């Protein structure tokens, strides 16, 4: 993808990089690696600035699949029977989460929630008002299990480990696509996979993209082209 319309100059190498210089993806990652090392494994984020988007009309919400897992994710299941694969909350246990403190703690403790299709009406009633705004409500796209079997749960958890949820609340998207400890090749493959899925979800696709950047948790952003 060309970002010629952005006007900042391309990075020609040699000399200090300035925010606004445009670089190919591998060059951008090389530049990111020059940032000061921290005492933790920083997240690598993909930032996509959007244009000509009306979020009141255009609902940008999707689950992107990445080829390389970023981290282990804690998954909780609303299931009819206890599972050895995930922490399970069965229907008789729902009432305890009418307590707001217990519900808040549950949502903060888990990255993803899955549910048996048969329990979804009860899940929506009991947990929907809290899980929805948190972006953690089980959905047919990722999280609702039609047949509650160990294999179906295992496959769903495996998919979740290589999925990222994306929801635009403003005319920009920020999504974690890797960690510093991952190889450049794996980070680049994750970036391209997420970018492809985001483009497909935009009403005018690439025409809705104003700028693409990558950054580490504590680093400065680097503008990218060539995706």
126-137 CB burial, b ≥16 within 10 A, e <16? bbeebbeeeebb
Domain range for 124 is: 75-161
Instruction: Identify the pLDDT of residue 138.
Output: 93
The verdict on 91 and 139 lying in the same domain is yes
The verdict on 56 and 97 lying in the same domain is no
Domain boundary among 126, 145, 161: 161
Confidence of residue 193 (pLDDT cuts 50, 70, 90): very high
Domain count, the chain: 2
Task: CATH number of the domain at 208, please.
Answer: 3.30.190.20
Q: How do residues 162-192 score in pLDDT, each as one tens digit?
A: 999 898 888 999 999 999 999 999 999 999 9
The answer to whether residues 179 and 70 touch, using CB atoms and an 8 Å cutoff, is yes
Q: How do residues 113-130 score in pLDDT, each as one tens digit?
A: 999 999 999 999 999 999
Look at residues 195, 220, 223 and name the one whose alpha carbon lies nearest to residue 28: 223
Residue 121: both structure tokens together: 């009406």
The verdict on 46 and 87 lying in the same domain is no
The verdict on 180 and 156 lying in the same domain is no
Confidence of residue 2 (pLDDT cuts 50, 70, 90): very low
Look at residues 150, 176, 153, 214 and name the one whose alpha carbon lies nearest to residue 68: 176
The verdict on 88 and 156 lying in the same domain is yes
Domain boundary among 119, 142, 161: 161
The verdict on 146 and 79 lying in the same domain is yes
In the chain, pLDDT over 70 holds for what percent of residues? 90
Task: Tell me the pTM.
Answer: 0.77
CA atoms of 217 and 76, how far apart (whole Å): 27
Domain boundary among 161, 181, 196: 161
The verdict on 80 and 127 lying in the same domain is yes
The predicted model gives 156-161 an average pLDDT of: 93
Is pLDDT of 4 > 50? no
Instruction: Identify the pLDDT of residue 167.
Output: 84
CA-CA-CA-CA torsion sign (67, 72, 77, 82): positive
CA atoms of 187 and 179, how far apart (whole Å): 8
Is pLDDT of 12 > 80? no
The verdict on 92 and 120 lying in the same domain is yes
Instruction: Identify the pLDDT of residue 3.
Output: 38
Instruction: Identify the pLDDT of residue 56.
Output: 83
Instruction: Identify the pLDDT of residue 18.
Output: 52
Task: CATH number of the domain at 139, please.
Answer: 3.40.50.790
The verdict on 93 and 150 lying in the same domain is yes
The verdict on 134 and 79 lying in the same domain is yes
CA atoms of 119 and 96, how far apart (whole Å): 16
């Amino acid at each position: 993808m060309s970002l010629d319309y952005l006007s900042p100059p391309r990075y020609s190498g040699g000399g200090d990089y300035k925010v606004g210089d445009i670089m190919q993806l591998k060059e951008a990652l090389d530049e990111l690696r020059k940032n000061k090392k921290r005492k933790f494994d920083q997240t690598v984020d993909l930032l996509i600035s959007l244009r000509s988007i009306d979020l009141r009309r255009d609902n940008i919400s999707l689950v992107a699949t990445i080829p390389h897992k970023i981290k282990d994710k804690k998954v909780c299941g609303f299931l009819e029977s206890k599972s050895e694969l995930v922490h399970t909350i069965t229907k008789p246990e729902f009432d305890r989460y009418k307590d707001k403190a217990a519900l808040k703690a549950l949502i903060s403790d888990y990255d993803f929630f899955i549910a048996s299709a048969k329990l979804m009406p009860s899940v929506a009633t009991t947990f929907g008002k809290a899980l929805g705004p948190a972006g953690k409500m089980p959905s047919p796209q990722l999280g609702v299990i039609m047949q509650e079997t160990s294999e179906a749960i295992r496959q769903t958890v495996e998919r979740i480990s290589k999925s990222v949820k994306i929801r635009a609340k403003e005319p920009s998207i920020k999504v974690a696509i890797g960690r510093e400890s991952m190889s450049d090749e794996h980070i680049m493959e994750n970036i391209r996979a997420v970018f492809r899925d985001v483009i497909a979800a935009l009403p005018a696709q690439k025409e809705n993209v104003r700028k693409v950047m990558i950054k580490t948790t504590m680093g400065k952003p680097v503008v990218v082209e060539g995706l």
